[in-house]
Amino acid sequence: MNEITQKMRETARGLLNSGQVALVLGWEKGYPWYKSAPAFIDRGEDVDRLVFDEFCHNNLSKYLLDLVAVEGRIALFVKGCDSRGINRLIQDNQVKREQLYIIGIPCPGLKDPDDAAGKKQGDEIKDAAKCQDCRYPNPVVYDLLLGEKVPVAKRSSETQALIERLEKMKPDERYEFWAEQFSRCLRCYACRNICPACNCRECVFDRATPEWLGKANNLIENQFMHLTRAIHVAGRCIECGECERACPVNIPLMALNRKLINDIEELFGEEPAGLDPEKKTPLGRFELDDPEKFM
Amino acid sequence: MLAIDKKRLNELLRNMSRDFRVYAPYLENGTGKFAPYREDRELYLEMNTLLPPKDIFFPQTEKMYRFRTAGSALEIEEIEDKKEKQVIFGIRSCDAFSIDCLDKVFLSRGYEDAFYKNKRENTLLVGLACTAAGDTCFCRSMGLNPQEAVGVDLQVLDLGEEWGFEARTAAGEGLLARYRDLLRETDAAPIPTQEFKLKVDVEGVPEKLSRMFDHPMWEEISRKCLGCALCTYLCPTCHCFDVSGKVKGEEGYRFRCWDSCMFSEYTRMAGGHNPRPTKKERVRNRFMHKLCYFVERYGQLLCTGCGRCLAKCPVNMDITAVIRKIKEAEVE
Amino acid sequence: MSIETNLNVEQQGTGPQAWEPKILVFACNWCTYAGADLAGLSRLQYPPNIRILRVPCSGRVNPQFVIRAFQKGLDGVLVAGCHPGDCHYSTGNYFTRRRYLLTKRLLEYMGIDPQRFQVRWISGSEGPKFQQVVTQLVEEIKAMGPNRKMRDQE
Amino acid sequence: MNANPLVPIRGRIIKIVQETPDVKTFHVSTVDGEKPFAPKPGQLAMLSLPQTGEAMFSITSQGPNHLELAIKEVGQLTGALHQVEEGQECGIRGPYGNGFPLDYLKGKDLLFIGGGIGLAPVRSLINYCIEHRADFGKMHVVYGARSVADLVFKEDLFENWPKVENMEVYTTIDRPEEGWTGHVAFVPAYVEELAFKPMTTVTCGPPIMIKFVLQALARMGFNDADVITTLEMRMKCGIGKCGRCNIGSLYVCLDGPVFTLEQLKKLPPEY
């Protein structure tokens, strides 16, 4: 990890001092020791704040939406999943590729901060949920790659296990499961605000006329919000797992998104989101011989 | 000091729940929260809960009045929530102080919030001493004593094998007397709180902040903020609310619900003018309110050092780091 | 929305057989709506439990509408449009097909009984098919009883 | 009033006066025909159509058993209000806010500067001063709007107020118009043109107008403690609890909406 950190700092210092980029987006150490946070570096001498460790979870591509007005190019560090976020934003015409200098980091897989919370530094820590069966640890788009590509390790994932368990349940049981999860939702919108696939100018949930989503926190409004968001990001979700990590009340949101990803792959044979910026999203295109299972 | 064996605490709460509606800390699906007492569930006393007890007095969604329209006529029917004797068991010093802050907001300055007052007046607070500070706890730095909760009726102390009880108010005395038969005298000493991992010096911050409205630091620290409401909904002292309604045909009800100054449309007015249009103003306003404005208005900080926002913020916005930056900032 | 008001009339029937399901049909203006007209013109009888909502194209129907329909107390939803290839807007129903294959999977994953949400292609000339689809749908839903899931009880 | 400050009492809109194409004045009394409450000049009321929403409005005037609220159509609730007919029942609660400092104003010459719908809150003070004419010195009213059609309270502007003893009324519109013989200029420019000597001033109008009026008054040597304005802010509770209308540590609904320029300069510029 600290070998990548050294390379990050040298690259960033070079880019900033040479004036090639106006801003570098990376991560820096947060508090406690199992937290890292996004860092916005625009001066050469600050690059020593940059770090890469097993807790650099944040998908930095989402910030590009705020930085459209920055003159000059923006450099940002991306793991495998983050890089797909950039393709997503390019696909949605939110960001121009030439404004970015993308530095890819082959990702060794990150650790679960909640699991680390009870432990000391150096203890054995569980893999983060999203990294357990990650299929794209190597960035899919980059201008510079820091280090060799890593092999894709085939591992089991708790999310996939939960999906299979849910699929075997009877409808009433499944409904109770999700009703209990959504009844805990605080409606803090961390899942929406951190998601790179959620980049509408004005979200349907914020509109007052018509008021699709009310302000009350009850099961009905929460269900409407999560189901609508699941459908809206279907075919756009890049499995960066940030929504699930950001959720303060541990709602297994990736079991929602991953289910739709599995269905899209099974029904339409579409490849996952964010791999090819030129391709349209699965629900934004069609094939004449699409299946007609029940119509 | 009166005490009860730790193994028999459940028995005390069972008795108490016959006379009061008891709330106690439980773990639900990995989330610590205050919930009504239930015999078959195990109490969660190792750490403070993630969701603060403020929603017992200030629920996230609370119906205020029902209405019915018939043509141009209108009927309004206030919703009276029943008065019920309650006890919150296991409230920590940080949350007890937050209730004190909420009391100042809802019960002072010329208007009393009837909904809050009705619940607050019928609730006894049983404080629970902390012996182990969490990674993100810093209540001592905010001038609080983890063993001594402010404004509680009864203080529970950790005596190792037993829970010790010390009454702080007449109502607390009443509680002890009512369940005296379950308690017995002991002279065991309370276990002191371990060393805090997180410390911050908040001396002089409110005064200095009042001169830092245009300081460049706000631009810098607000860039990573996502503008979600997680910090404000987990915060035990945040009390902003919105008023909205639900209509079904000619009937409906008006309710109030939590709102967050971090949302973009929080201060947006009809016609589009928004005094706090970007993240910078909103992040600045939140820290200014907690560390400066509230002190100017009510004479105390609006941050109790519970550390929930620091623990759960998806971008690790750290209020203690902001306080340190304020202390270091040069201001004329 | 007219649907708003008559949904409030709670069914105070005397027993289960008195309960009448309420089903929403999103009918595409060019085909299914015409098919429904044809069924009416040819005096084809079908149960009166459906409420038809005319939409320009089946592609116009947003999954939010379906979720909102169940919340507002409907017991079944049918999205009906032109057969693929006949769409007045040429590609509308191709998007519908993908979108509603996925929406059906999501609703099932949420625990909504599969029969409560159906999609059918009914062209302007298939009056009898419209009658047959609606009759069968009402039978199925009547057998399942009212839908309590996702219903807004407030 | 209700024991619970957040729950309105039932009112009725007994009269609706069309002031301009997008401003109507609503006469509101309780369902039993009385005045809901007796506000001081500059105080506010929360008017609601529960099926649509609730919002805070300044009380522009009052009669023996009704309040007058002048409302411009800008949003959801105001839009619904502009559709209702006379006799419509509504919710009303208040009075809120500090109102104008009447004792401070006693015996002084007064300059009232209004822009567009901003005249509504100022009018409550003007009417009070007219009713207690002897308590106040010379009165000047400078009021402007985009066009003649947008001038509110035309009856007061052109009939009632000019007849009041020792009171000057200057009206202006932004751009020349057919049939308008009066002055044509923006309000801040007109104020500077009239070259008033420094005196106590009460002003309210769109933010852009306030900005330039304050600059003009500064150039004319008005001192900050003598310039009084009433602010508009998004308000939800109206009783200083919900935290929405804060400027620094003050709540506009409770500690305001009336502030002097001196007070405003001590507050963070966030309104």
Three-state secondary structure along A54-72? CCCCCCHHHHHHCCCCCCC
Mean pLDDT within C131-144: 94
Alpha-carbon dihedral sign for residues B275, B280, B282, B288 = negative
Angstrom distance (rounded) from CA A24 to CA A274? 22
Q: A249 and B31: CB-CB below 8 Å? A: yes
For B66, the closest chain D residue by CA position comes to: D50
| pLDDT(C86) > 50 | yes
All residue ranges of chain D with pLDDT < 70 are 1-2
Local confidence band at C5 (pLDDT 50, 70, 90 cut-offs)? very low
Helix (H, G, I), strand (E, B) or coil at A117: helix
- The reported pLDDT for the residue numbered C17 is 61
Mean pLDDT within B37-63: 95
Q: What is the mean pLDDT of chain B?
A: 94
Q: A186 and B233: CB-CB below 8 Å? A: yes
CATH number for the segment(s) D102-230 = 3.40.50.80
Interface of A with C in 190-209 (CB under 8 A): 204
Q: A31 in contact with B at a CB cutoff of 8 Å?
A: yes
B126 min Cα distance to partner chain D (Å): 27
- The reported pLDDT for the residue numbered C16 is 53
- The reported pLDDT for the residue numbered A207 is 87
Q: C4 and B248: CB-CB below 8 Å? A: yes
- The reported pLDDT for the residue numbered A153 is 81
| pLDDT(C13) > 80 | no
Mean pLDDT within C98-118: 93
Q: C8 and B246: CB-CB below 8 Å? A: no
Helix (H, G, I), strand (E, B) or coil at A254: helix
Alpha-carbon dihedral sign for residues C24, C29, C32, C37 = positive
- In DSSP notation, B259-283 reads --TTSTTTTPPTTS--SS-SHHHHH
CATH architecture label of C21-144: 3-Layer(aba) Sandwich (3.40)
So where are chain B's domains? Answer: 2-50+81-185, 205-240+261-328
Mean pLDDT within B56-73: 94
- The reported pLDDT for the residue numbered C90 is 92
Complex-level ipTM: 0.91
Contacts of D233 (CB under 8 A, 6+ apart): B267, B269, B275, D244, D245, D247, D252, D253, D256, D257, D271
Alpha-carbon dihedral sign for residues A92, A132, A28, B217 = positive
Residue B133 structure tokens: 């500070």
Among B57, B63, B68, B76, the strongest candidate for a mutation testing the D interface, having the largest count of D CBs within 10 A, is B76
Q: C102 and A228: CB-CB below 8 Å? A: no
Q: What is the pLDDT of residues B257-310, one digit of tens each?
A: 999 999 988 998 887 889 999 999 999 999 999 999 999 999 999 999 999 999
Q: A246 and B29: CB-CB below 8 Å? A: no
- Enumerate the CATH 2.40.30.10 domain ranges in chain D, comma separated: 9-96
- The reported pLDDT for the residue numbered B331 is 87
For residue B34, give the amino acid letter.
Answer: F
Mean pLDDT within B91-104: 97
Asked if residue D173 lies in contact with residue D83, where contact means CB atoms within 8 angstroms, the answer is no
So where are chain C's domains? Answer: 21-144
Q: A17 in contact with B at a CB cutoff of 8 Å?
A: no
> In angstroms, what is the C-alpha Rg of chain A?
20
- The reported pLDDT for the residue numbered B273 is 85
- The reported pLDDT for the residue numbered B114 is 92
User: Averaged in consecutive runs of 10 residues, what is the pLDDT profile of chain A (295 residues)?
Assistant: 90 95 96 95 94 95 91 94 94 92 94 90 91 92 93 86 95 95 96 94 88 92 96 94 95 96 92 88 90 77
B133 min Cα distance to partner chain D (Å): 31
Percentage of chain B exceeding pLDDT 70: 100
Fold of D9-96: Elongation Factor Tu (Ef-tu); domain 3 (2.40.30)
Interface of B with A in 218-277 (CB under 8 A): 220, 223-224, 226-230, 232-234, 242, 244, 246, 255, 257-260, 263-265
- Enumerate the CATH 3.40.50.80 domain ranges in chain D, comma separated: 102-230
N residues, chain C: 154
pTM above 0.90, yes or no: yes
For B66, the closest chain C residue by CA position comes to: C154
Helix (H, G, I), strand (E, B) or coil at A148: coil
> In angstroms, what is the C-alpha Rg of chain B?
22
